[in-house]
Amino acid sequence: MTIAISILGGLIAGSFLNVCIVRLPEEESIIRPGSHCRSCNKEIPWYHNIPLLSYAILRGRCHWCSAPISLRYPLVELTTAVLFALLAERGFPPRELCIYLAFCSALIVITFIDIRYLIIPDAISIPSILVAPGLAYVAGHLSVTDSLIGIAGGGGLLWLFAWLYEISRKQEGMGFGDVKLLAMIGGVEGWQGAFFSIFAGALAGSLVGISLLAARRGKRDTAIPFGPFLAFGAITYLLAGDEIIAWYFGFPR
Ligand SMILES: [Zn+2]
């Protein structure tokens, strides 16, 4: 039952996250106007705006002008629904679960905006950093001290990496947006989560980078956004961090 509710909630939340992904980088309001086609500007009635279903029924095209609808819409809805269900299944206490659902939603928005624009919106990362210690105090999923150390440690470590990269290769490799993102992750998951995210993210990033090189899809200096990999690491930590850490330290080479 909980799983069914979380899937449904995830689909609805995902639909809203799509609005954020499209409008935040354009600095438009995420509340008004209501959903409209980005091509012909016609309003989209609710029955053409049902998560996943409408995309399938409309065959990925606007009902009025037949302009193609990005595959990103159903993809975001599906991802959100699956992550909500997986989080609900972990059996976190209610307050903690609410925080993680909101946190994952923020990470989904950040991921898709970073892929498209190579930026991480301050409108998400900065407020999240500011509220994170307060949330730790209210929900008690980690101590306020761990949250603060997570912010300083996560942000500081990535800042150091970015600075070392810059002086050694004489070019900017990582944006300051990534620094703020890891500070946000550290604020919610503590320094443990921040460290986990940076290692899991770097590992996933290298694998994808190598695959892209092998497929000759990218040059050595092609900009690959790092934000999605940090987000991947942070979500993995919530879903399976304990198991992975126990496995890693339980079976030394
Ligand atoms: Zn249209």
Average pLDDT, stretch 38-43?
A: 90
Exposure pattern of 59-80 as b/e (b: 16+ CB <10 Å)? eeebbeeeeebeeebbebbbbb
Alpha carbon of 43 to ligand 1 centroid (Å) = 8
| Side chain identity at residue 201, one-letter code | G
| Residue 196 within a domain | yes
How many CB atoms within 10 Å of residue 200?
A: 20
Q: Do 80 and 139 belong together in one domain? A: no
pLDDT band at 217 (very low <50, low <70, confident <90, very high): low
pLDDT band at 253 (very low <50, low <70, confident <90, very high): very low
Distance CA(63)–CA(210), nearest Å, equals 41
Q: From CA 130, how far away is CA 206, in angstroms rounded?
A: 31
The domain boundary, picked from 32, 63, 89, lies at 89
Q: Is the pLDDT of residue 252 over 60?
A: no
Place of tokens 């993102």: 181
The SS3 assignment for 24 reads coil
- How close is the Cα of 35 to the center of ligand 1, in Å? 11
Greatest extent of the chain over all pairs of C-alpha atoms, in Å: 61
Based on the domain organization, do 56 and 160 belong to the same domain? no
Measured distance CA(135)–CA(127) in Å, rounded: 12
Q: How many residues would you count in the chain?
A: 253
CB 149 within 8 A of CB 193: no
Facing residues of 43 across strands?
36
40 CA distance to ligand 1 centroid (A)? 4
Residue 96, exposed/middle/buried by CB under 10 A (0-12, 13-18, 19+)?
A: middle
pLDDT mean across residues, the chain: 91
Evaluate if residue 76 carries a pLDDT over 50: yes
Answer yes or no: do 158 and 56 share one domain.
no
Inside any domain, residue 7: yes
Interval between CA 57 and ligand 1 midpoint (Å) = 15
Q: How many Å lie between the centroid of ligand 1 and the Cα of residue 68?
A: 8
Q: Which domain holds residue 164?
A: 123-253
Domain membership flag for residue 6: yes
Q: H helices within 24-121, ranges in order?
A: 53-57, 72-89, 94-117
Say whether both 239 and 132 belong to one domain. yes
Tell me the CA–centroid distance for residue 73 and ligand 1, in Å: 15
Distance (angstroms) between ligand 1 centre and the Cα of 62 equals: 5
If you average pLDDT over residues 41-48, what whole number do you get?
A: 90
Kindly state whether residues 85 and 130 are assigned to the same domain. no
Q: Is residue 173 part of a domain?
A: yes
Share of the chain above pLDDT 70, in %: 95
* 103 located within any domain: no
CA dihedral 24, 25, 26, 32 (to 10 degrees): -10
